């Protein structure tokens, strides 16, 4: 049986994703373009062509900085921001990969790193491999200092491609 804190964390992530998605859609409908956000999205144009022949299952990985000692709710919120940001940039830059990910269950895996240096190494490697990414910087309103890099989303992309960059990391 699952621990109550795990259920709460999962529920918070799902709610955060849904709210973030709804807010993003609402802001787009106001002026036709997205609002500025706390994210850095990589430009992965052309990745759909690179991944076209890979086939198989797709996933998104959420790489969380473990050294920040964020609370469970904070981690869930930051992962929600990263998932929404990666989904939105994926719609723009790798729509075929997003559709395949949606059709294969929308897998999201939470992994951990122990430093900002390790997080940024994953980010640079993912960008070099033309993977869709979204790096979250916290606004600093609660537990974390402003502009702190907290979570990196990689994907949606083929599992093989994502694992080539994050396969060595441990589950959160």
pLDDT (tens digit per residue) in 108-147: 999 999 999 999 999 999 999 999 999 999 999 998 999 9
**Domain range enclosing 104:** 48-171
Evaluate whether residue 32 is within a structural domain. no
Evaluate whether residue 35 is within a structural domain. no
Evaluate whether residue 21 is within a structural domain. no
Least confident of 46-55, 73-82, 95-104: 46-55
Q: How many domains does the chain have?
A: 1
Q: Yes or no: say if 97 and 156 are a contact pair by the CB < 8 Å rule.
A: yes
For residue 139, what pLDDT is reported?
A: 92
Evaluate whether residue 26 is within a structural domain. no
Q: Report whether pLDDT(49) > 80.
A: no
Strand 170-171 and strand 107-113: the pairing is antiparallel
The percentage of residues in the chain with a pLDDT greater than 70, rounded to a whole number, is: 68
Helix axes 72-93, 95-103, angle to 10 degrees: 120
Cα 161 to Cα 130: distance, rounded to the nearest angstrom: 10
Against a cut of 0.75, is the pTM above it?
no
The percentage of residues in the chain with a pLDDT greater than 90, rounded to a whole number, is: 66
Closest CA to 74 of 140, 28, 128, 125: 140
Evaluate whether residue 15 is within a structural domain. no
Q: Report whether pLDDT(151) > 80.
A: yes
Rounded average pLDDT over 59-77: 97
- CATH code of the domain in which 154 resides: 3.40.1490.10
Evaluate whether residue 11 is within a structural domain. no
């Amino acid at each position: 049986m699952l621990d109550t804190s795990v259920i709460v964390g999962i529920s918070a992530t799902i709610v955060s994703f849904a709210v973030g998605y709804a807010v993003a859609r609402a802001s787009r409908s106001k002026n036709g373009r997205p609002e500025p956000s706390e994210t850095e999205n990589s430009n992965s144009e052309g990745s759909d062509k690179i991944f076209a022949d890979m086939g198989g299952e797709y996933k998104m990985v959420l790489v969380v900085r473990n050294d920040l000692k964020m609370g469970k709710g904070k981690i869930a919120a930051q992962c929600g921001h990263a998932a929404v940001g990666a989904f939105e940039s994926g719609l723009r830059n790798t729509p075929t990969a997003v559709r395949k990910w949606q059709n294969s269950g929308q897998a999201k895996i939470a992994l951990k790193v122990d430093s900002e240096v390790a997080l940024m190494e994953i980010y640079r490697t993912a960008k070099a491999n033309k993977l869709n990414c979204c790096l979250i910087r916290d606004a600093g309103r609660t537990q974390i200092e402003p502009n702190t890099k907290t979570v990196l989303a990689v994907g949606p992309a083929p599992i093989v491609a994502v694992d080539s960059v994050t396969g060595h990391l441990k589950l959160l």
